[in-house]
Structure 1
């Protein structure tokens, strides 16, 4: 079973998507964890069916206190 990362949402900030952006790409850039894409999707349910953004869409990026990896993950996956 996959291990879940834990985080605390402290608010959000607007982000204007560029053509080709995806939730996992944004999560990797914003949090250094592609698995945090689910947090961005949860904050933007109207866009949950988008795979690649066309550009110009304004979404809310959650501001998180920190992202914790489970201790049971191997070091290269933390």
Structure 2
């Protein structure tokens, strides 16, 4: 996986998370690693975002019961 993503006109955080990480549930992760750009809702073309690798998944046994379903 590349360490950056260059936006296309009209990209939004959730769409970028889906393209880069395969799921919108990683939108918060993406936003947390691009803090200076949090005021942008819809991007213009050409903005470069940091896209660090996702952290290792927690073992299911260490998750609360409501998170394992």
Q: Give the distance between the partners of 2:55 and 2:35, measured in 1 at CA.
A: 22
Q: CA RMSD in A?
A: 2.2
Q: Matched residue of 2:18: which SS?
A: helix
* TM-score scaled by length of structure 2: 0.72
* TM-score scaled by length of structure 1: 0.65
Equivalenced residues, count = 61
Gaps of 5+ in 2: 59-66
Name segments (4+ residues, structure 1) moved above 6 Å: none
Gaps of 5+ in 1: 1-11, 73-78
Q: Give the distance between the partners of 2:8 and 2:56, measured in 1 at CA.
A: 25
Q: Does 2:32 align with 1:35? A: no
In terms of fraction of residues, the more strand-rich structure is 1
Q: Whose Rg is larger? A: 2
Question: RCO greater where, 1 or 2, for CA within 8 Å and sep 6 or more?
Answer: 1
In terms of fraction of residues, the more helix-rich structure is 2
